[in-house]
Amino acid sequence: MSMVASGVAPREDIPFTDADFQMLAGLARREFGLDLAASKKPLVYSRLSRRVKARGLVSFADYLALVTTKGENEERLALISALTTNVTSFFREKHHFETLTTVCLRQARAKLDAGGRFRIWSAGCSTGQEPYSIAMTILAAWPDALRRDVRVLATDIDPIVVDRARQGIYSGQDAEALGKDPYRKWIRDSDDGTVSITDEPRALITFAELNLMDPWPFKGPFDAIFCRNVAIYFDQPTQQALWQRFAGLLTETGNLFIGHSERISGPAETSLQACGVTSYRKVTESETKPSNRSIQWV
Ligand SMILES: C[S@@+](CC[C@H](N)C(=O)[O-])C[C@H]1O[C@@H](n2cnc3c(N)ncnc32)[C@H](O)[C@@H]1O
């Protein structure tokens, strides 16, 4: 029987005081925008006590000193990996990919044919299933995408998952979510039971490390931004600032897709309008201007 099931609190073999927790929560908020409410103290303990031991330390005070040491990037990234989850899958929340096809790709085709560009950002891409699903959706709708100015940017704060995304190798079980046609043609089976993504979807994507809390080294604009199941870790002011930054980076007809338990709130509500389940479209300039028809002329 587990300790929790028997009602006995797990013993903390490394002391974890409220002050330790507050210091860690402050660091996680400042550096990564993470919201660690007091109720998360046991979870933080269980995830980070492993890191304390792995680094051969005996107290959280030592661990805090380590992660705040200038240049100690490795442990800071291990810290965010321990505090967030990388859970993802191919075509997660399928309806977003349907909207991508029926709305975003459909309305952008004329622009593409006129020599224009098409850009999508998968922000918080984890191990890559999301950007590969985007690339496959594009290729299914636009078989000529590789000869056009079409790119997908895929970023995550965690270099380990970005590396795995770049490799594009998945278990056969992961690949089941791709179904058969038309996506199956963009994966290759290996003898060891894994599958790898073929060159075509890969060629559309640029992978990079990026902390969403930092300045973004690009200006956009993006025809669509996927930032799903990432902001859920952030406190409300951080989320609201993020929505506002995304809205500023979308094209006039751009769409934002967010996670199933996330909602747009704050100042971005005036520039983003719900157009489906957790899908938003940019409100055009003409929609925000007062209508001439409302002028009462006498
Ligand atoms: C649950 S995964 C979501 C993956 C994918 N978007 C999906 O919905 O399937 C959350 C990802 O957000 C990333 N993340 C958390 N905080 C971040 C931050 N401040 N900047 C960039 N990425 C962050 C994590 O590293 C993790 O890979």
Give tens-digit pLDDT for 102-161. 999 999 999 999 999 999 999 999 999 999 999 999 999 999 999 999 999 999 999 999
Output the pLDDT for position 136. Answer: 98
Return the CATH fold of 18-83: Chemotaxis Receptor Methyltransferase Cher; domain 1 (1.10.155)
Give the residue, 166 or 31, on which the prediction is more confident: 166
181 pLDDT higher than 90: no
- What is the mean pLDDT of the segment spanning 86-106? 96
Give tens-digit pLDDT for 197-216. 999 999 999 999 999 999 99
Specify whether the CB–CB gap between 150 and 120 falls below 8 A. Answer: no
Measured distance CA(60)–CA(15) in Å, rounded: 7
For the annotated binding site for S-adenosyl-L-methionine, the residues are 86, 88, 92, 130, 156, 211-212, 228-229
Q: Mark whether 156 is an active-site residue.
A: yes
Output the pLDDT for position 296. Answer: 58
Specify whether the CB–CB gap between 256 and 248 falls below 8 A. Answer: no
Enumerate the domain spans of the chain: 18-83, 94-286
CATH number of 94-286: 3.40.50.150
Q: Whose CA is nearest to atom 15 of ligand 1?
A: 230
Give tens-digit pLDDT for 244-293. 999 999 999 999 999 999 999 999 999 999 998 999 999 977 776 655 55
- What is the mean pLDDT of the segment spanning 47-58? 92
| Residue in this structure with the two tokens 């790898």, named with its chain if needed | 196
Output the pLDDT for position 221. Answer: 97
- What is the mean pLDDT of the segment spanning 150-177? 96
Taking phi first (over 0 means left), then psi (-120 to 50 degrees means alpha), and beta for anything else, what does residue 17 get? beta
Output the pLDDT for position 287. Answer: 73
User: For all residues of the chain together, what is the average pLDDT?
Assistant: 90
Measured distance CA(46)–CA(53) in Å, rounded: 11
Q: Quick check: CB of 87 below 6 Å from ligand 1? A: yes
Output the pLDDT for position 93. Answer: 95
Measured distance CA(190)–CA(6) in Å, rounded: 45
Q: Quick check: CB of 78 below 6 Å from ligand 1? A: no
- In this structure, how many other beta carbons lie within 10 angstroms of the beta carbon of residue 57? 16
Q: Band the pLDDT of 6: cuts 50, 70, 90.
A: very low
Give the residue, 180 or 107, on which the prediction is more confident: 107
Q: How much of the chain, in percent, has pLDDT values that exceed 70? A: 92
Output the pLDDT for position 7. Answer: 39
Q: Band the pLDDT of 297: cuts 50, 70, 90.
A: low
Q: Quick check: CB of 239 below 6 Å from ligand 1? A: no
Output the pLDDT for position 258. Answer: 98
Output the pLDDT for position 74. Answer: 87
| Sign of the torsion angle spanned by Cα atoms 208, 99, 272, 35 | negative
